[in-house]
């Protein structure tokens, strides 16, 4: 039985969330009320959100590219700005494309790709066991295979030289800046999903170095970066023998490196 959605209940939940600093308290109240099965369940959900847990972790899902992506506690919450990366990848993909999502987190990018193109072959990998379990649920309908391990290490050798779209939404926050992130990310998401090393590009450099061995001729690597990392990220890609360009969306506040293996 749904929790009480009377005006009095909604008003009380909204007031609690607003007092906790939630900017969109009214919208969040509606989502929590809809998700709760009983008044006690609602009270628990509101307590979690008021304590600072990401709304998506409290609900157990996030919206991404029009999909409802299942989320477990500690798993990286897919950002709306990353929908720009997805749109860039979808524009480059052909029917039957072989897609690999490294540092996949919940598998949101791979799920968006699978929903948008015909007959994809979908693979994903992450070093975090919680993320792997979560991605497995999100990619099951697409027949996606999810592997646990460090970057390319767990991928089947048969994928070498066959990958058309290599998605790598790697952690790119410099280690010294992790403490400056909003508490929702800093305190509730796995650090391995945030910390990109001293300059934020440590993981991306490793991905770029290995990409030529895994990409098909003409295949593309796409990775989200920050605007001030453009030159260094492009250099990492070209230094590995890939051509590189940067796509930007001011509306979404997103910057994406697109690196291509020569055909």
The H-or-E segment that residue 171 falls in is none
- Average per-residue pLDDT for the chain: 94
Rounded to whole angstroms, the Cα distance separating 57 from 95 reads: 33
Give CA 141 to chain center in angstroms: 18
pLDDT band at residue 6 under the 50/70/90 scheme: low
Which residues contact residue 97 at a Cβ distance below 8 angstroms, ignoring those fewer than 6 apart? 113, 117, 120, 121, 164, 165
User: Which pLDDT belongs to residue 182?
Assistant: 86
User: Which pLDDT belongs to residue 8?
Assistant: 55
Name the DSSP class of 70: E
Percentage of the chain beyond pLDDT 90 is 84
Rounded to whole angstroms, the Cα distance separating 166 from 171 reads: 15
CA distances from 175 to 17, 82, 202 (A): 31, 21, 10
What mean pLDDT is predicted for residues 185-206? 90
pLDDT band at residue 1 under the 50/70/90 scheme: very low
Local structure of 78: helix, strand or coil: coil
What mean pLDDT is predicted for residues 52-57? 94
Local structure of 225: helix, strand or coil: strand
CA distances from 60 to 24, 39, 81, 234 (A): 18, 18, 20, 36
pLDDT higher than threshold 80 for residue 2:
no
Cβ neighbours of 157 (radius 10 Å): 5
User: Which pLDDT belongs to residue 180?
Assistant: 86
CA atoms within 13 A on the CB side of 42: 24
Could you report the per-residue pLDDT of 84-99, keeping only the tens digit for each? Answer: 999 999 999 999 999 9
Rounded to whole angstroms, the Cα distance separating 181 from 184 reads: 8
């Amino acid at each position: 039985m749904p929790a009480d959605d009377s005006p009095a209940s909604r008003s009380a939940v909204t007031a609690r969330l607003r007092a906790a600093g939630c900017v969109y308290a009214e919208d969040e109240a509606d989502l929590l009320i809809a998700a709760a099965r009983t008044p006690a369940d609602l009270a628990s959900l509101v307590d979690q959100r008021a304590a600072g847990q990401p709304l998506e972790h409290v609900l157990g899902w996030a919206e991404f590219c029009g999909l409802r992506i299942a989320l477990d506690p500690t798993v990286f919450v897919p950002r709306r700005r990353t929908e720009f990366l997805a749109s860039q990848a979808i524009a480059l993909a052909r029917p039957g494309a072989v897609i690999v999502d490294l540092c996949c987190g919940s598998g949101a990018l791979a799920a968006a790709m699978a929903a948008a193109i015909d007959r994809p072959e979908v693979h994903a990998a992450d070093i975090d066991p919680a993320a792997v379990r979560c991605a497995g649920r999100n990619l099951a309908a697409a027949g996606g295979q999810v592997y646990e391990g460090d970057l390319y290490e767990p991928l089947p050798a048969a994928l070498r030289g066959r990958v058309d779209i290599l998605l790598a939404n790697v952690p790119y926050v410099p280690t010294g800046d992790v403490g400056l992130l909003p508490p929702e990310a800093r305190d509730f998401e796995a650090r391995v999903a945030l910390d990109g090393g001293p300059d934020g590009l440590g993981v991306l450099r490793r991905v770029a170095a290995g990409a030529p061995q895994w990409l098909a001729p003409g295949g593309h690597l796409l990775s989200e970066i920050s605007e001030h990392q453009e030159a260094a990220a492009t250099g990492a890609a070209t230094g590995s023998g890939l051509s590189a360009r940067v796509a930007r969306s001011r509306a979404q506040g997103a910057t994406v490196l697109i690196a291509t293996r020569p055909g």
